[in-house]
Structure 1
Amino acid sequence: MKGPTMNSSLGRRQFLNIAGGALSASAFLALAGCGSSGAGSSTSSAAPASSATFAGPFVLGFDQEFPPYGYIGDDGNPTGFDIDLATAVCEMEGWEFKPTPINWDSKDAMLNSGQITCIWNGLTIEGREKDYAFTDAYMENRQVVVVRSDSGITSLADLAGKNVVTQTDSAAYYLLVDGGAQADLGASFAKLDTIGDYNTGFMMLGQGSYDAIAVDYPVAVFNIGDKTDEYAMLDESLNSEHFGIGFALGSEALAAKVEADLQKLDAEGKVEEICNKYAGQGVSYTAWCLPKA
């Protein structure tokens, strides 16, 4: 993963034309159900994986600095909400499971070359519908802003003239730059920087290098933890979005198979069990989108 060098290159969760404005924290869980995703008609440079012929290994590409969806645990092993979901699918299918940390900027090249089977790590669908063979959305998410508790910043409007940071190629970044749904807000900042990983971003926020960090809601909850005397999340959200599992174009059948397996796991109560495991880190079963099988 990249270190703390600041840059404005494209690289993490590209988010081009999402609709939506500021949502209150309480309104998020009351939002209507998730929409479906569609893949484009172009073909990938690698041979697509068919559900009829796929026998594994199932190589999941994930950003190891994106808790609670995917990260390296205290024992040195990959863990997280998405990792647990994928583990359950592979157990159901009898596939060998290989969670593989990747450089997020290289995710498309690795997917299209066949080095990884899919990208399953809080991958935003909106703005990418034609780039991947997506499952339907399985989780609803939102982008939020975290500040220091003593900053005096209590609303999005208070960010005018402030220094803000977010992750490279993140949904939040593309909301705040030209063409994004929150471009006017972003233009009011003194500075909008990008950084390689959110762990470093929160450290720099705490040190006072930045006034605010724009981040995915579960990542914010995970990093705030019990440090509510240090960090505060604004009530207003930047948007609402949806996560899907991205396979290479041409792999729609395999995507549909994994989607169906998730629906079966949900019907068995396994999905709710995994959600509850990460409830303290910002994951809620009420944000689950796929209907039961």
Structure 2
Amino acid sequence: MQKNKRKIFLVGGIIAAAAVIMSGCQTKTASEQTGAEDDRPHIMVGCDDYTPFSYMDVDGNMTGIDVELAREAFDRIGYQADFTFINWEDKKKLLKDGSIDCVWSSFTMDGRETEYKWAGPYMKSKQVVAVNIDSDIYTLNDLEGKTVAVQSTTKPEDLFRSHEAGLPELRKIISVKNRDVLFTFLSKGYVDAIAAHDTSIVQFSEDFDMEYRILEEPLLNVNLGVAFDLDDDRGIDEQLSQAIKEMRKDGTIEDIVSEYLPGADRYLEDADEK
């Protein structure tokens, strides 16, 4: 049922999602939905529209792996989590000015350890390159002289623009704000390849019945975490890290991930413990 809801929303909702982002839509809290009193302090979680991690279902409620994890983890440390879509490029500024308390949205920790205070990691992921089925690109070296699209301010953009890990020289890198545009560019042949989290590519392929081929060699194996501003001295990051450890040990994280992704254990087994 959850997958069907995602498909219905995604097929009809790319334009609507953009409108939601513009308006800074927030989900209703449990107390608002039931009418019950809830005096716990609220915490605002900023996230990208990024299936299967954080997205709106057909009823207008925020859902996804990260949303369910955040609700559970913050509940354990005495907070009520609210959610808002953000412009991904503005995440650091929004943390700094207090518009949001944290970013929880398939956010790569690796290489950013000194940019934020982190809670986690709670999952691992792979940054990968995907091409059309009939592409003659089979290895990262085959990207030499090609055009690749990435979402702006993401790890793949960092990797390609900094030429880390011995990546080949591209003809052009195209950075876009909306992740879904990546797939449009690739399907129409505007670019030769795209780079993103493997989970995101697999989910999009399933939701839209599209076929892409993910290169066997990943760009990077990464840990996903929850980012707080460096000057945030409330200690919530430390409390949250402890809650995440407990959720890993008692199987809660695996149970939630399993609702959205097959073979959940492969997204958890190598996530480094802090």
TM-score by length of 1: 0.73
Greater helix share, 1 or 2? 2
Q: Do the aligned residues in 2 keep the contact of 1:139 with 1:242 (CA within 8 Å)?
A: yes
The structure 1 segments of at least 4 consecutive aligned residues displaced by more than 4 Å after TM superposition are: 226-229
**Equivalent in the alignment of 2:266:** 286
Structure 1 residues 235 and 290, CA, compared in 2 at 3 Å: closer, same or farther?
closer
**Equivalent in the alignment of 1:60:** 45
Which consecutive unaligned segments of at least 5 residues does structure 2 have? Answer: 1-14, 16-39
Q: Map of 1:1-293 to 2, 5 A cutoff?
A: 56-64=41-49, 66-182=50-166, 184-185=167-168, 187=169, 189-225=170-206, 230-249=211-230, 250-251=232-233, 253-280=235-262, 284-288=264-268, 289=271
Q: Distance in 2 between matches of 1:241 and 1:94?
A: 29
Q: Distance in 2 between matches of 1:74 and 1:138?
A: 27
CA positional deviation for 1:291: 5.5
Q: Distance in 1 between matches of 2:146 and 2:114?
A: 35
Encode CA deviations 1:3-49: one digit per residue, 9 max, x unaligned. 9xxxxxxxxxxxxxxxxxxxxxxxxxxxxxxxxxxxxxxxxxxxxxx
Aligned length: 234
CA positional deviation for 1:170: 1.2
Q: Do the aligned residues in 1 keep the contact of 2:139 with 2:215 (CA within 8 Å)?
A: yes
Sequence identity (%): 30
Please tell me the root mean square deviation across aligned C-alpha atoms, in Å.
Answer: 2.4
Report the secondary structure of 2:126's partner residue.
Answer: strand
CA positional deviation for 1:59: 0.7
Range with greater deviation from structure 2 (140-149 or 261-270): 261-270
Q: Distance in 2 between matches of 1:81 and 1:150?
A: 32
CA positional deviation for 1:290: 6.0
Encode CA deviations 1:248-292: one digit per residue, 9 max, x unaligned. 224362111111112222333211110111114xx7333322669
Report the secondary structure of 2:150's partner residue.
Answer: strand
Which consecutive unaligned segments of at least 5 residues does structure 1 have? Answer: 4-54
Structure 1 residues 206 and 114, CA, compared in 2 at 3 Å: closer, same or farther?
same
Q: Do the aligned residues in 2 keep the contact of 1:134 with 1:252 (CA within 8 Å)?
A: no
Q: Distance in 2 between matches of 1:261 and 1:91?
A: 9
Report the secondary structure of 1:266's partner residue.
Answer: helix
Report the secondary structure of 1:137's partner residue.
Answer: strand
Q: Distance in 2 between matches of 1:234 and 1:254?
A: 38
Q: Distance in 1 between matches of 2:213 and 2:58?
A: 26
Amino acid across the alignment from 2:256: I
